[in-house]
């Protein structure tokens, strides 16, 4: 995970607001100290620069928001793929021999439970605990694949058992896609640094322009800082795997777990 993932979202937005307000104040005081006969010429130039910098900052925020939204949609699609793959594997397990069928269904039910626990823990658990749960998911994948291999050998590689094997492969692919989307498809730290520096420099120019006129509006100052910081907060949260404001709906996985429990021949034993 990125280091910023461990920073509370409230701290991110408060820091951004205060930093922008401070830089507006710095620009205002510097501009006020440089009032003079050339003020009119300076004002025209500073207004042009301020408009360009604020426009570029708005463009960068829109660009970053679009990237974060795409990452969120990728995670959602991978989640849907995994639910579908688990359901297919559970149905495909009906084509296995009795012993393999019972074991496969027990593992799949436990896997669905683990996935729900992992989604809940992502908001509060430490990275080490999340890694351990991911490793457990991969261990279940290996167990399911060993069942698929055993069933394929026993039936001579028939089409019926191949359905279960294909579903297990789909589960593994969906798992890899979720990890890729959550841990690696992230907004680059270089973009974050550029965005933050651009916001501060834009605030300095805006404060400098107000300083040249000798007047300013505190309401406008705080409104602008809060507006830009709110957008940064949304981008930050959308790009995080452990989202605070947004939440990946787990109802499909819950419904799938309930259906599997109803159709299971008996209560699954806990994995050792």
Does the pLDDT at position 155 exceed 60? no
Q: Which domain holds residue 39?
A: 3-263
Residue 108 lies in a domain: yes
Q: Who has greater pLDDT, 268 or 123?
A: 123
Q: How many domains does the chain have?
A: 1
What pLDDT was estimated at residue 263?
83
Q: Does any domain span residue 271?
A: no
Least confident stretch, 61-65, 175-179, 246-250? 246-250
**Residue 272: inside a domain:** no
Q: Is residue 154 included in any domain, yes or no?
A: yes
If you average pLDDT over residues 164-192, what whole number do you get?
88
Q: Is residue 163 part of a domain?
A: yes
Query: Which tokens go with 63?
Result: 């660009």
Does the predicted model carry a pTM greater than 0.85?
no
Q: Is residue 222 part of a domain?
A: yes
**pLDDT per residue over 92-105, tens digit each?**
998 888 888 899 99
What is the SS3 string spanning the chain?
CCHHHHCCHHHHHHHHHHHHHHHHHHHHHHHHCCCCCCHHHHHHHHHHHHHHHHHHHHHHHHHHHHHHHHHHHHHHHHHHHHHHHHHHHHHHHHHCCHHHHHHHHHHHHHHHHHHHHHHHHCCCCCHHHHHHHHHHHHHHHHHHHHHHHHHHHHCCCCHHHHHHHHHHHHHHHHHHHHHHHHHHCCCCHHHHHHHHHHHHHHHHHHHHHHHHHCCCCHHHHHHHHHHHHHHHHHHHHHHCCCCCCCCCCCHHHHHHHHHHHHHCCCCCCCCC
pLDDT value at position 138?
A: 92
pLDDT value at residue 186:
85
**270 in any annotated domain:** no
Query: What confidence category does residue 187 fall into, taking pLDDT thresholds of 50, 70 and 90?
Result: confident
For all residues of the chain together, what is the average pLDDT?
85
Condensed to tens digits (0 to 9), the pLDDT of residues 74-94 reads 888 989 999 999 999 999 998
Task: Give the model confidence (pLDDT) of 235-247 as tens digits.
Answer: 988 888 777 787 7
Q: Residue 268: inside a domain, yes or no?
A: no
- Residue 135 burial (10 A CB sphere; 0-12, 13-18, 19+): exposed
pLDDT at position 198: 92
């Amino acid at each position: 995970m990125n280091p910023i993932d461990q920073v509370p979202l409230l701290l991110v937005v408060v820091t951004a607001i205060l930093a922008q307000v401070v830089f507006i104040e710095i620009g205002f005081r510097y501009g006020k100290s440089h009032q003079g006969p050339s003020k009119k010429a300076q004002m025209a130039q500073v207004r042009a620069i301020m408009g360009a910098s604020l426009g570029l900052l708005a463009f960068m925020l829109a660009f970053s928001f679009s990237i974060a939204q795409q990452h969120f949609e990728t995670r959602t699609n991978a989640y849907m793929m995994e639910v579908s793959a688990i359901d297919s594997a559970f149905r495909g397990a009906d084509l296995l021999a009795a012993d393999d069928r019972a074991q496969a269904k027990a593992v799949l039910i436990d896997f669905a439970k683990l996935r729900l626990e992992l989604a809940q823990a992502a908001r509060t658990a430490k990275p080490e605990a999340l890694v351990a749960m991911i490793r457990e998911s991969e261990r279940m994948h290996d167990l399911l694949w060993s069942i698929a291999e055993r069933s394929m050998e026993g039936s001579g590689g028939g089409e019926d058992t191949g359905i279960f094997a294909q579903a297990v492969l789909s589960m593994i692919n969906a798992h890899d896609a979720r990890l890729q989307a959550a841990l690696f498809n992230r907004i680059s730290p270089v973009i974050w640094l550029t965005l933050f520096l651009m916001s501060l420099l834009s605030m300095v120019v805006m404060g400098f322009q107000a300083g040249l006129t000798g007047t300013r509006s505190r309401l406008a100052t705080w409104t602008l800082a809060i507006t830009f910081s709110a957008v940064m907060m949304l981008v930050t949260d959308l790009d995080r795997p452990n989202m605070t404001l947004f939440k990946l709906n787990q109802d499909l996985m819950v419904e799938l777990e309930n259906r599997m429990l109803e159709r299971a021949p008996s209560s699954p034993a806990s994995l050792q």
